[in-house]
Structures are given as structure tokens and as C-alpha cells.
Structure 1
Amino acid sequence: MKSMSSATTSSHTIYESDNDQDYSMDAMSSAKTTHNLHKSVLVIGSGAAGLVTAQTLINDGFTNVHVFSKDSQPGGVWEHNKVYSGVFINNLYGDYRFSSMEMPRHPSRDPKSTRLSAEDMQFYFEKFTDTYLRDRISFETEVLNIRRPKPPFDSDPLNWVVKYRKRGMREAFRERGFHRIVLCTGGCHKPRIPPAFSPSAVHESGFLGPVLHSSEFRAKLDSIFSAVQPSDNHRSLHSNVPRIDPYLPSNNSSADDHAGGDGKGVVVVIGGGKSAQDIAAYLANEGHHRNVCMIYEKTDAFIASTSQLSDRIRRSRLLGVLSPHSELRTPLERFLHKTWLGGKTVRSIFEMASDYSFKAFQIPPDSPLRLCQNPFWSLRVNDEVCRRGNSFHVLVNEGQIHIEAPARAVGFGKDGRSVVLSDGKIVRADAVVLATGYESSWTDLFDLQTINQVGLGKYPPQYVPLDSYDEEWKKYTSLRDPPPAPPANQMWMSCIYRGIVPARNLFKRDLAINGAVFSTNNGYVFETSAHWISSYFLEDSFLEIPASIKDAVQSTERTSAWLRKRYPDMLHWTNESHSSDIQFWSWPQYTDDLLRDMGLRYGKARTGGNALTWLFKPIEVEVIKDLSKERAALRMQSA
């Protein structure tokens, strides 16, 4: 690859290229493969998807792989500066990992605990990076813009110019050329802040306390602790404690007339998702004992039991088969989703699981915790495994977290120490945490013209009417009586083929995405996707992709139509960079599709089991450990 240094356009613009070839290319099958291995690849992001993508590319022989990360350490949402104690992931210990590395035990981990914590994840990704990607990641390097280069091109044209800024760098920015890019920026990068709680709204209202997004919670804990002192109503696991006062001023009084039950102030958490629950529980429980009020219209659904469920339920294909999929490939799936008895059985199982979860946590019928999503129709479902004495739901039951629901916060009060709800109620607030979700991370990386050229946005149908696929899934009895869909769902969700490649850009083979498919088994999905991306960049002849752009776009339109059918009330809540495809319960079927695309073993042929046991066979990540070797063998056969 030739240097682009002659293309410098200003004193702050430096085009760079590298020719480091420190990995061997033994047994490469063709000149085309060797040529592709020399192409420079930039992986943007050092979260789980970015790390396994970079490792896979390097293992496959790519000689010029770089990772840019805005963070100072690896881990993404579990990066060192974002993690705080008491947060548990929706997995058991050891479930969320990659095939090349077992999960090492965190030094402070309780050996009796089976839950996977955020600190475990942070520790794992740091060890993974140190083992496989040392000196490959440029930390504290923020990508500002990605664009196509302008002519003239050299004999080996670069496909992308990346503008970036490194913390502490003298230049305002630099620009560097790359042949290929993998977006691993995820959907938890750019905070979504309602206009009523924006920095300008805070300033205009005269609110006196800190207002921060949940993404800043760990970094700005001290500001909350300064504004809200520990409560005298702290809980004890060994005694019965009184429920805290609601500390809600009446409509005719000011917040100064009420002191949060004990004069120590109140933290208001706006939102009902997992981040909101984790933050509220941390403040109320983890040794700090702040008064906490949580405001939401609906909270996340959850699954739990009185004891830990077997891996034959938790990690098998069972939940994937019980959840309807766009392709019903087995007789059992067709029975469950296309017959009256099967549809009743599926819905009953989800309803019983939800009811049993409420009973496991002893949640009363009139509790605001029952104002939650329906676990069958929703993507907002948490795995609580089994009852813990200091969990969010227990704290709410005991009155240590006050809930205002169903309610919506609409702005700040006039006294500078309160939040106003949509019904006019005033809630005391000395600090506010906005657990209000995230926007797409792609809009800051590309200008609108590039987004539309590549096909990263949301688009109306191009080839078929909106209702063209309705007849295909009309006979799904398990999908009868769905929740109402908001008008926003009438826009196509995305135009990303397999959730990995923008359909319009399919044959350029210079852009891919990992980490944007919404699933409940990220480790397995991200690693399988990384191999698909590697074969795509290598132009492996055995990788099956659509024959034309039209075919690719039509495939994404069908997928989007299915998602509107499957999750009618959810698509307005997601963002593009976190929902290029949604394979929530159905991740086994999705990864089977990726393996089938690559001409590899899939289904029970890979994960094990026979005609009687395949449904309950736990799926281990080790079954995809040798995908690089399997793909190399196919490459040699096709040479």
C-alpha cells in the first residue's frame, strides 16, 4: 500500500498508512486471498464486539489491523471507568466469553456467587486484550468522521479516510486512510437526553443539583454524594426496617417543606430500564443508603426463580424454539407457532414464567413493579436468575426505593429542587440521573450524505409494499393479539444485511458491523459474526451472499417486516447502531444462518444432541473455537 502523505490538505491533516506484516500467511490459497490480507482494516471500538473482531481478523492472517478506542481501557460499557460494584449482567458466571479464553476469576469475586458481574466483565476484557491484542489498540483515540476519499486515487486506492483526535495530541486532528472498516461502536455510546432535561434546560430552570446521564454515573458519583447525604433509613439484612416515607411534596407546597423523609435529600432516577434499576439499587443499598425515587411509565420485565434453572433451559435452544422466528425449520417449531394448541402452549409458558418470577420475588399484585413489559413481546427482559436479598426488586418491596409509576417526568420545578410529572405532581430532587437510553453512535461518525450512500439509516420500502409479507406470517398462532404498534414502526427498521453489512454497500466489501445485533448471547453471536466478516473481507468463494444489491435490500426489507410483526411495540425504542437485527431469544437460529452462509456445520450437527435431546442440549461456546481452521480448509478446497 502506498503512502498518502502527499495528500495532506492542511497543517492539521496527516494521511498515514502502515505496512506492518508481523503475522505469517501460511497455507493461503490464492493470490486474491493474499492481496486481501494485506488490506488495512480499522476496527472502531474496544468493547466485546471490537475485541473479538480484531482477534479473529489477526488469527486469519490479516496483517494490518488497527483498533481505535475512545476509552482509556478495553471493555466498552464495562470499561474500568464505567463500572461500579453491585451490577450484575444477564448471564451466569462464565457464560459471556469467547471460545479462545476461559473467564479468569476476579480477585475480589465471591467464589460462592454464580452471577456474572460488571467487574467480572471488565476483568475478562482486560485479560483478553493483554493476551491477544497487546499494542494493537490505540486508546483515547476518538474517531470524529469517516468519509470516502476524493480523487485522484493512487494505484492502490484507500476506501475510507478517518478523521480522529488523540487525547493530548498537539494537532487538532489527524486523518488516516484505511481500506476497510468494522463498526463496533455499539448502541450505548451517545446518550439520549430529553429536551426538557438538556443542559440548556437545566440552566434555564435554575435547578441547583447535578443532572447527569446514566453513562456518566460512575465518573460523576462524587457530585451525587455531595448533593445527597446518606439516609438514616438504611436497610439491614438482619432486621425488619420501616419503609421510607414517600418524600413527595404536595402540589401546594415547595420542595423546601419536605426533606426526603429524613432531611438528607433525594436522588431522582428517570427511566425504568436495567441501568435505572442498577443505579437506584446501588444508591439505596451498596453502603451509601441515599434516598432514591425512580420515575417510569413501564419498567423492564424479568425472569427469575427460587433456585437457579438448569443449563438445559438457560443455555439450550429451548427458548429460541419457543420464540417465533421468521423461518420455522423444524416440525416442532411449526407445531408451536402454526397450530392452535402450539400457540396457546407458547404464550402460556411465557405467562407462567412471568407469574412465577413475580412470586419468586414476592411482589404484591398492586406493586408498581408489575407495570412492566410483556416478556413475550418485549426486548426489555432481564435475567435475575433467582432472588437476592439486596436486589432492586427486593429493595423496592422493602420501601428502600420509592417508585412513581406510571408517570413521566416533564421538567424541573420552579424552586430549583424538584421535578414535575405529567400529572402535575412535584417530586423532591436534589440530584437527577437520566437513564433515558442512547441514540445511534453512527450519526456522529458519518455525515448524512455518506450514511445515505452506504445505507446505514432507516428507509421506506424500495421494492415491495409495507404489507407485502403480512400473508407469510398470518398463520402464526403464537403471534395473535399483539400489542398496538406506534406509527414510527411503519418506517423500515434498517437496511443492514444479516445485521452485518449495509445492503447497498454489499459488493464494495469495505464496511462491516459487529455488535449491533440485539441478542441474549452476545459472546457467541459476536464471535460467529466476526468469522462471517473475515470471510466477507477475504472474498471467500464459499461465503454465500445475495447475488445482487436488489436481492440484498429485499432480504433486509423482509427482515424488517418480520421484526415489526414480532416486536410491534419495541422498534421505536431501539436505535440503528443497536438494532441492525434483533435476534433476542432466537440467537441460535441466527448463528445457524451465519454458519450456513459460510458453508459450515450448523444446528445440532454443531452443537450436539440427537432427535430426542437436541432441544435441551446446552450450547457451549467451544463448538465455534475452530471456525478459522474450518474456513481455511474450505478455502484450500476451493483453490
Structure 2
Amino acid sequence: MKTQTVGIIGAGVSGLVTAKTMREHGFSVVVFEKESELGGVWASTRRYPNVTTQNTRDTYTFSDFPMPKHYPEWPTGQQVQAYLTDYARHFSLLPSIRFGTIVERAELLDGGQDGWLLHTRQQGQPNQTVVDYLVVCNGVFSEPNIPRIPGRDLFRGTVLHSTEFRQQHLDAARQQKVAVVGFAKSAHDILSQVSNVSRRPVCIYREAKWKMPRIFWGLNVKYLLLHRLGESLFPYRSLYGIHRFLHGPLGKPVTGLLVKGLGRLVATQLKLRKSGLLPDKPFDSIANCSIGLTSDNFYERAARGEIELANGEIAHFVPDGVVLNTGRHIVADQVIFATGFRQTVPFFDELVRQRLRDQRGWFQLYRNVLPADVPNLSFVGYNPSLFTPFTSELAAHYSAQYFKGQLNLPGTVAMKREIGLHHDWLRQRAPHSSASGTCIIPFSFHHADELMRDMGLPTRRTRNPITEFMAPFNPVMYKGLAQELQTLNAANVRAEKTSSLVEV
């Protein structure tokens, strides 16, 4: 029997683990990476100076390949790329990657029943590749988003996205005035670095949002939130087990007090009232598709006035800077947009894109992995979580089971209904999210449990309920899922044969 081939778009965290996982399930793979190096957002062409993970070292890993013990608690971008390179070498993935290759068009063959025809271009040379299945791993951080603002051609300075910020821009900041637009971790990271070399860089932001300190009153944040108990402080859309109690009539008052108490302690530690960055929304709003960690010195310097704060939006550029919608004039030589990303799939034709996204542009993916209306296609990495390497690994197994016809899925109508219900809940929880329906955070464990149950695998991975519920997340607990699934499938086949014999 001919080995079936899976085409994978992207060689970042998700693409690499998908390639390794698909081979474990018996597929051959070919990976298309537009850059000349692997790593995705961690590639040298994408990362800004001194960027680090938001995760601790031991939670930002794959299940069967831990990060080196000599890495710091929060590894640098360069270290993460080195880790991913070692992973690709260890599992012999590099020969399967076509670097410098753009997928220009992905075309369904015979409505998808005969797979996909991929039109690619490498160093200007066109090529075509037929694959049986296709996995999109270009990520939700693939296309930098810079808002279109009037007057940009008048501005005499430099305009960048955070992914374009490099050492030369940091060096130039010694003699320049810098304005950074946004309130995400990348904005705070860049402002912290610029404030080391330049006087009073400006943070332009629409809304102050809650952030968690890496060390919370002497306690590493992984012991506070990066476990099932921490996640349980926030209500998921479907409550079961202890979550039903924690957010029910008896448990909700206690849970509410705990969350409010956390908020007060965070506000005190970060001096949010002194800086004027105390969010208007309550602390539980931190569970709105992102839980950001603080950057070194940002809040301290904001409280001391060493980072200038400008609440508002840019209305238009002027030759020497920008003018906000409040009328405030900000003088700047560099304007850096840390304004997120757009999720795009330009290689699909209009018909496929209409099946994948609704009128708002939200992706219609069951469990954030499978489109209900497009066959032999899956998305890995469109479920970014607090533990993205792990949830991408899990989505890769989920995709492999689907391609093999071994995933117990509801019908198309039921899948669409579930997608709709999930998106309705997302709109209530995070109405202004830019995640295009791909939001998982902070409910990483809930999402993982859904995928595990769909595959018929146990969600509890240890015999110790205290470790399971209160210890920081450990990806090693999920090591060997391919073998578990193979054993499960063999058992199901035997059961079907036994049932058939009984019926006869």
C-alpha cells in the first residue's frame, strides 16, 4: 500500500511537531517554509532583540524533547530557535523541509477526494506538488498588522512593526525619540529596552490591560496559574466536575474573592495606581484570549515617569510624529507598531476561504483544528495556548487520526453548531479579540481535554490527583500518544471483529 503524503505549510513550532507526529502515524511529509531558516516567530528574521518566552522553560516544550537544563527559566528567542533546530535534527526532519519555498496556491483535486495540488515557488522557480492531505501551520502570528493611518507619507521618521525591530533600531534610539503603539508583551519589551538607552520613550495605548508578574510576590507564576487549579479560577463555557462547584452557587463567592484578591496584589506589586495603568476592567478580564506577563522594568519605569504614557489612538501622522484622536501631538523619530498580526490564508482560492471563514473573518474550525466544509485539511497552531508546543502537538495527533479515519467526529451540521456555540461564547468573553476565532487562552487544559476525549484517550495522566490538579504543567505526561492511539485502534478493531462474529 502506497504511503500517503501530508503537505505542511510552515516550519515553526507547529509545523515541526506536525511533521514529526505525522511520520509517527505512518505518513510521509513535505514541509514548505518561505523563510531560509526554521523557527517561525522565533526565526532571526522575525524576532526583536532580547525577546524571551512568556512561558517557563519546562512548560514551553514538546512532550518527548525537553529543553536543555542549562537554559534560563524564560529562554531567549535565540535559544528557542536553537531548541527547535535540535528537535528537527534529532527527529531527522530537516531533509523534509523545503526552505525558501512559498506556497502560492493550494488547489483541491476532485473536490478534495484526490488530495491537494500545491503550486509553489522556490528562488523564482515554479513547481507543483501533489499531497494527499494538507496541514496549515503558518500560525496566527504570520502576517504583521500595521494599521493604515493617514499621513504616513508625510512622516520623516521610521515606521516599523515589532517583528522588524532590530539591534540597529535600538542603537539609533540613543539619539532619537521613540513611540511604541500597543500594550502587548512585545510593546512593553521594546519600551523597556529603548528606555535603557533613550530618554522617555512613549507608549501609545488604547486600553490598559492586566498583566501577571513573572515572579508574583516571590512566587514563580507557574506555581500560581500554570496548572489546572489556576485555570479553574476562570469559568469555561461548559462546566463539569470540580469546575461546576467552583463556579456554582456555593463555590463562586469564594472563587470570586480569590480572583479579586489576586488583582489587588498584582496592582500593588506593579504600582498600577501610581503609573495610571490600573485597568478599568476587573481582574478576571485577564482571561480574554491572552494572559500576558510583565516585561523587565516596564511598570517600574512607567511609575517613575521614565516611560511616557499616551492613552489614545493615532489619528494621523505629521512630519515630526503623530497626532492622537485626543488631539495630543507626540514627537517621534521612530514609530513602532506592536499591534499584533492578521491571520491570513492567501494560498486558498475564494471558494475555500469562504468555507473557512465567516463574514467577520473568524475561522470556522471544529476544536480549532478541523474545517467542517473542506476535506483532507487541518490547521495546527490555530489553537495557541499557554503551552503552544504541547497543544500544537496534540492538534497534530488529532489531525492524523482524522486523516486515518480513526477520529470519532459528529456530522457536519453538528460540527458547525458546535463552532457557532463556541464563537458565541468567545464574543461574550472577548468581544474585541483580534484572534479571528482562534482563542484558547487561558483554557489550555479544557481545550486539551476536549481533543483527548474526542480521540478516546484519558484526560487524567497521573495517578496522583494533587499532582494532576496543582502541579505546574508537565508536557511529559502526554509522551507516547501515537503508541496509545495505535493500541486503542487495535483494540477497537478487535472489538468490531468480535461483535461481527457474535452477530453472525
TM-score, normalization: structure 2? 0.90
Identity over aligned residues, as a percent? 26
| C-alpha distance in 2 between matches for 1:210 and 1:224 | 12
Aligned with 2:409 (options 545, 567, 586): 545
Q: How big is each residue's C-alpha offset from its partner over 1:287-333, in whole Å with a ceiling of 9 and x where there is no partner?
A: x4465111011144211212123755343211222211122121x31
The one of 92, 102, 115 aligned to 2:74: 115
Residue from 196, 204, 209 that aligns with 2:157: 209
* Residues 364, 299 of structure 1: alpha-carbon distance in 2 compared, 3 angstrom cutoff: closer
Measure the CA separation in 1 of the matches of 2:15 and 2:378.
11
Residue 391 of structure 1 deviates from its aligned partner by 2.6
Given the alignment, which residue of 124, 132, 137 partners 2:83?
124
- The alpha carbon displacement at 1:223 in A equals 5.2
- 1:574 equivalent in alignment to 2:435: yes
Q: Work out whether 1:523 is the aligned partner of 2:389.
A: yes
- SS of the counterpart of 2:247? helix
Q: Is the 8 A contact 1:303 1:354 kept in 2?
A: no
Note the alpha carbon deviations across 1:405-462, whole angstroms, 9 max, x for none: 2x1111112xx112111111111111111112211122x222322212xx21025xxx
Partner of 1:50: 15
> Counterpart of 1:160 in structure 2: which amino acid?
W
Q: Distance in 2 between matches of 1:48 and 1:608?
A: 30
Q: Distance in 2 between matches of 1:78 and 1:310?
A: 23
Where structure 2 has 5 or more consecutive residues not aligned to the other structure, the ranges are 494-504
State whether structure 2 residue 398 is matched by structure 1 residue 532: yes
Show the counterpart of 1:449. 351
2:239: which partner in 1? 328
Matched, 1:138 2:120: no
Counterpart for residue 497 of structure 2: none
Please give the secondary structure, in 2, of the residue aligned with 1:544: coil
Query: Is the aligned partner of 1:181 residue 2:141?
Result: no
Q: Deviations over 1:585-630 (max 9, x none)?
A: 2211221121111111113xx14423x6643144321111111111
Instruction: Specify the alignment match of 2:326 in structure 1.
Output: 423
Gaps (5+ residues) in structure 1? 1-33, 231-263, 460-490
Separation (CA, whole Å) in 2 of partners of 1:138 and 1:164: 10
Q: Contact 2:49–2:165 (CA<8 Å) still a contact in 1? A: no
Q: Is the 8 A contact 2:290 2:441 kept in 1?
A: no
Q: For residues 465-486 of structure 1, what are the alpha-carbon distances to aligned partners after superposition, in whole Å with 9 as ceiling and x for unaligned?
A: xxxxxxxxxxxxxxxxxxxxxx
CA distance in structure 2 between the aligned counterparts of 1:525 and 1:374, rounded to whole angstroms: 28
- From the superposition, tell whether residues 179 and 52 of structure 1 become closer, same or farther in structure 2 (CA, over 3 Å): same
* CA shift digits 1:147-191 (9 cap, x unpaired): 22479x9xxx7422222222x33x3x3332222110111111112
Relative distance call for 1:440 and 1:631 in structure 2 (3 A) is: same
Structure with bigger gyration radius: 1
SS state of the match for residue 224, structure 2? helix
Question: CA 1:118–1:394 in structure 2 vs 1: closer, same or farther (change >3 Å)?
Answer: farther
Provide the C-alpha distance between the structure 2 equivalents of 1:43 and 1:101, rounded to a whole number of angstroms: 21
Name whichever structure is richer in helix by fraction.
2
**Structure 2 CA distance for partners of 1:312 and 1:400, relative to 1, 3 Å:** closer
**Offset of residue 202 of structure 1:** 2.2
The residue aligned with 1:380 is: 290
Per the TM alignment, residue 269 of structure 1 is displaced from its structure 2 partner at its CA by 0.9
**What is the SS of the residue equivalent to 1:91?**
coil
Contact kept in structure 2, 1:210 and 1:224, CA below 8 Å: no
Which structure has more RCO (C-alpha within 8 Å, separation ≥ 6)?
2
Name the SS of the counterpart of 2:31 in structure 1. Answer: strand
Q: 1:48, 1:75 within 8 Å by CA — same for their partners in 2? A: yes
Q: Does 1:96 align with 2:49?
A: no
Does the CA contact (< 8 Å) of 1:214 and 1:435 recur in 2? yes
The 8 Å contact of residues 274 and 300 in structure 1, kept in 2 or not, is answered as no
Please say if residues 177 and 332 of structure 2, whose CA atoms lie closer than 8 Å, have aligned partners that are also in contact: yes
Alignment of 1:179-578 (within 5 A): 179-196=132-149, 201-203=151-153, 205=154, 207-218=155-166, 221-222=167-168, 225-226=171-172, 228=173, 230=174, 264-285=175-196, 288-289=197-198, 291-304=200-213, 305-309=216-220, 312-330=223-241, 332-339=242-249, 341-361=250-270, 363-371=271-279, 374-377=282-285, 378-384=288-294, 390-405=296-311, 407-413=312-318, 416-442=319-345, 444-452=346-354, 455-459=355-359, 493-505=362-374, 508=375, 510-540=376-406, 543-546=407-410, 548-565=411-428, 567-571=429-433, 573-575=434-436
Going from structure 1 to structure 2, the CA distance change for 1:266 and 1:618 (only over 3 Å counts) comes to closer
Q: Which residue of 1 aligns with 2:447?
A: 590
Q: Distance in 1 between matches of 2:424 and 2:5?
A: 36
Distance in 2, matches of 1:492 and 1:280, equals 31
Q: How far apart, in 2, do the equivalents of 1:42 and 1:284 lie?
A: 44
RMSD: 2.4
Is the aligned partner of 1:636 residue 2:476? no
Q: 1:360 to 1:144 in 2, by over 3 A?
A: same
1:551 match: secondary structure = helix
Deviations 1:518-570 (A, max 9, x none): 42121221111111111111112xx2111x211111111121122223x1433
Runs (4+) off by over 6 Å: none
Distance 2:482 2:42 in 1: 27
| 2:152 aligned partner, one-letter code | V
- Residues 544 and 134 of structure 1: is their aligned pair in 2 closer, same or farther, counting only changes over 3 Å? same
Q: For residue 163 of structure 1, what is the aligned residue in structure 2?
A: 119
- Asked if 1 retains the 8 angstrom alpha-carbon contact of 2:47 and 2:164, the reply is no
Q: Secondary structure at the match of 1:135?
A: helix
| Contact map agreement 2:48 2:163 (CA 8 A) in 1 | no
Give the counterpart of 1:600 among 449, 452, 457.
Answer: 457
* Alpha-carbon distance in structure 1 between the residues aligned to 2:269 and 2:233: 22
* Shift in Å, 1:225: 4.0
User: Residues 307 and 528 of structure 1: is their aligned pair in 2 closer, same or farther, counting only changes over 3 Å?
Assistant: same
Match of 1:602, as an amino acid? T
Q: Give the Cα–Cα distance (whole angstroms) in 2 for the partners of residues 105 and 123 of structure 1.
A: 14
The size of the alignment, in residue pairs, is 488
